[in-house]
């Protein structure tokens, strides 16, 4: 098969021919049609997140099952699939409680601890393949369908985690990013009043198109003041922070109104300060939101199948242009998601 292999941190992809993977017991192999290219996997490539080399990265796939290993009953050859990102155990307390991202025995991530989707074929534990629901034209739109498993499902899960309701105000920090813009889209779909917060002026038009009702330019405005002004001084009901730096988390916390919820995801995990008095007096909540469960992937795919939302993939390139595509992602030049067409 043709595969894009990384041999060391911060080095170019090598497009090589290598043996096709073979499904062992409990495993399956899919032919990959497309694979999303987000900032997380660029972090791997650039050496900002640790990776064991050589490695084939990528996890936001659309594919078709071509081989199943012994004992696999959940899949058959020809099934259209996407991949679940986490290699969770399936049997610990958290997996059994439908909280798979919190698995006690997490074995790693697809495209990090095992080879991923930047190749013509991908082998995974069978339970990491999720069959696509009816009604998705995955052959015509493999890139868009592929990114649902992360870029759309992660914001979808945040709607539930933060209990976002129609009519509430939702500020999205990092709204111009690949996940942020889909959060704008999903919060709009949920009936919220969406306020996009970002420093990248060139993404503001896309934020509006994705469903933002208001824009706060964090490069020049005082974000807390702007969010208070836009909500009649009350503060926002929800702040979703895809930047999650100390500064953005502190701004998000200060901008919350009564019963406000701050959601952190992404970022470097640094400490931040907030007012315990506000938490108490305004009954506020601070929440983390980690990836998604399988059913949230399926529900997100069903939303797309029903035409409720459509993933924003603005750059689709062949495997030969993986290096150029990653340079665009590295430099923040992609609106929404980028993806590779795998042939």
- Interface residues with Zn ion (CB under 5 A)? 88-89, 92, 95, 103
Residue with Cβ nearer Zn ion (121 or 291): 291
Output the DSSP codes for 150-162: IIIHHHHHHHHHT
Q: Minimum distance from CB of 96 to Zn ion (Å)?
A: 8
Q: Minimum distance from CB of 158 to Zn ion (Å)?
A: 22
Beta strands 27-37 and 121-125, pairing class: antiparallel
Distance (Å, whole) CA 225 – CA 218: 11
Residue with Cβ nearer Zn ion (272 or 291): 291
HSE (side-chain half, CA atoms, 13 Å) at 41: 36
HSE (side-chain half, CA atoms, 13 Å) at 254: 14
Residue with Cβ nearer Zn ion (88 or 293): 88
Q: Minimum distance from CB of 88 to Zn ion (Å)?
A: 5
Distances (CA, A) of 50 to 12, 30, 47: 16, 26, 6
Q: Minimum distance from CB of 91 to Zn ion (Å)?
A: 6
Q: What are phi and psi of 340, to 5 degrees?
A: -105, 135
Q: Minimum distance from CB of 295 to Zn ion (Å)?
A: 15
Residue with Cβ nearer Zn ion (105 or 343): 105
Per the CB < 8 A criterion, the answer to whether 77 and 66 are in contact is yes
Residue with Cβ nearer Zn ion (295 or 327): 295
Q: Minimum distance from CB of 99 to Zn ion (Å)?
A: 9
Residue with Cβ nearer Zn ion (93 or 139): 93
Query: Which H or E run includes 198?
Result: strand 193-198
The one-character DSSP state at 68 is E
């Amino acid at each position: 098969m043709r595969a894009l292999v990384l041999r060391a941190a911060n080095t170019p992809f090598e497009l090589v021919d290598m043996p096709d993977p073979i499904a062992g017991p409990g495993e399956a192999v899919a032919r990959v049609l497309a694979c999303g290219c987000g900032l997380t996997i660029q972090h791997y490539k650039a050496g900002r997140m640790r990776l064991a080399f050589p490695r084939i990265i990528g996890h936001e796939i659309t594919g078709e099952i071509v081989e199943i290993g012994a004992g696999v009953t959940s899949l058959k050859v020809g099934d259209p699939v996407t991949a679940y990102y986490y290699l969770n155990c399936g049997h610990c307390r958290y997996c059994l409680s439908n909280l798979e991202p919190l698995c006690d025995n997490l074995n790693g991530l697809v495209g990090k601890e095992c080879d991923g989707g930047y190749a013509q074929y991908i082998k995974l534990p069978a339970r990491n393949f999720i069959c696509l629901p009816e009604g998705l034209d995955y052959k015509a739109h493999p890139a868009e369908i592929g990114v649902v498993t992360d870029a759309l499902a992660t914001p979808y899960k945040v709607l539930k985690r933060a209990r976002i309701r129609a009519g509430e105000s939702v500020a999205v920090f990092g709204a111009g990013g690949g996940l942020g813009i889909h959060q704008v889209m999903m919060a709009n779909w949920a009936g919220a009043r969406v306020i996009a917060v970002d420093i990248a002026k060139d993404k503001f038009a896309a934020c509006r198109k994705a469903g933002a009702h208001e824009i706060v330019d964090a490069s020049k405005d005082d974000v807390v003041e702007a969010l208070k002004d836009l909500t009649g001084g009350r503060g926002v009901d929800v702040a979703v922070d895809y930047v999650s730096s100390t500064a953005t988390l502190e701004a998000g916390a200060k901008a919350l109104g009564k019963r406000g919820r701050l959601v952190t995801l992404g970022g470097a995990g640094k400490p931040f300060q907030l007012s315990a008095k506000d938490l108490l007096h305004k009954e506020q909540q601070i929440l983390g939101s980690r990836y998604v469960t399988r059913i949230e992937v399926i529900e997100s795919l069903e939303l797309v199948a029903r035409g409720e939302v459509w993933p924003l993939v603005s750059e689709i390139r062949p495997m030969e242009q993986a290096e150029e595509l990653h340079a665009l992602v590295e430099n923040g030049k992609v609106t929404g998601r980028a993806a590779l067409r795998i042939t």
